[in-house]
Amino acid sequence: MRIWPIYKKELRLYFTSPVAYIVLTMFLLIGGYFFYSIFAFFTRASMQIAMNPAGARDLNVTDGVLRPLFQNLSVILLLLMPLVTMRLFAEERRSGTIELLLTYPVRDGAVLLGKYLAALTLYALMIAFTLAYPAILVYFARVEGGPLLTGYLGLLLMGAMFLAVGVFASSLTENQIVAAIVTFGILLMFWVIGWTSEFAGQPLGAILAHLSLLEHNENFSKGVIDTRDVIYYLNFTALGLFFTLRSLEARRWSG
């Protein structure tokens, strides 16, 4: 499998075009703003509690800062990740370079993995930068290592899934904007699908809750690794990549 050259090329393209820098900057700016507001809110709350120690038991950094931070970061990702993947196949199709790429001696799967892993690398870089927030936090308060670690694991798994959906959408069209919108649409649907689970009847409600993106991220930010959550994200990712492969194959037949 000649994944490596494709991976290198894609990663280089990310950083020779402005996309990676813009996404990274936006992500860190907005993430930083959220971190600042959450942290400020938490500080004020702890000051009030210092005067009225009755509520002190409920207040800790994990619940007060990290959990809301991870939740907010996921929302930013929902908006930004479609931009990371939209180019991958749509642009190759628009410019026709796919005709050369798919006639080189590499399997479609290797092309796909090379591209996907490049996107995943960019994403890993994005969330690596956010480690600055807990680093600042450690300076002021005691941070529990466990929930921090699982929180990041959850973020990584969720991002991997977002990227798989994105790369699939990108393989469907020649238009990057369309790819981004489709990705966003699919993700948003799975995001909100859990909201109705409470009103839906019981078997359906449970299914909807299980499909929901949000539900599965809850546990991670609480410091709990549930295999069901891990499997959910991995399954979703694998399915996305599998559909992409089929879509590439179908496109070959139609020329």
Considering the complex, state which of residue 10 and residue 229 has its C-beta at the smaller distance from other proteins: 10
Please state the closest distance from residue 6 (CB atom) to other proteins, in A.
7
13 vs 30, which CB is nearer to other proteins?
A: 13
Which of 182-212 are b and which e, b meaning 16 or more Cβ less than 10 Å from the residue's Cβ? bbbebbeebbebbeebeeeeeeeeeebbebb
Q: In the complex with other proteins, which residue's Cβ is closer, 103 or 227? A: 103
Query: What interhelical angle do 145-172 and 108-129 show, nearest 10?
Result: 140
- Decide: 83 and 122 in contact? Cβ < 8 Å: no
The nearer residue to other proteins, 93 or 222, going by C-beta atoms, is 93
5-16 b/e (C-beta count within 10 Å ≥ 16 → b): ebbeebbebbee
Alpha carbons 15 and 91: distance in angstroms, whole number? 16
Q: Nearest approach, Cβ of 165 to other proteins (angstroms)?
A: 25
Region of 96 on the Ramachandran plot (φ > 0 left; ψ -120 to 50 alpha; else beta): left
Q: Give CA angle at 119 (32, 216), nearest 5°.
A: 65
- Please, which residue, 14 or 232, has the CB nearer to other proteins? 14
Nearer to other proteins, 4 or 195 (CB): 4
**In angstroms, rounded to a whole number, what is the distance separating the alpha carbons of residues 179 and 176?**
5
Q: Which residues are near other proteins by CB under 8 A? A: 2, 4-6, 8-9, 12-13, 16-17, 95-100, 102-107, 252-255
Nearest distance from C-beta of residue 17 to other proteins, angstroms: 6
Contact 119, 167 (CB under 8 A): yes
- Residue 4 Cβ vs other proteins, minimum distance, rounded to whole Å: 8
Could you tell me the smallest distance in angstroms from the CB atom of residue 97 to other proteins? 4
Query: Closest by alpha carbon to 11, among 125, 122, 108?
Result: 122
Minimum CB separation of residue 12 from other proteins in Å reads: 8
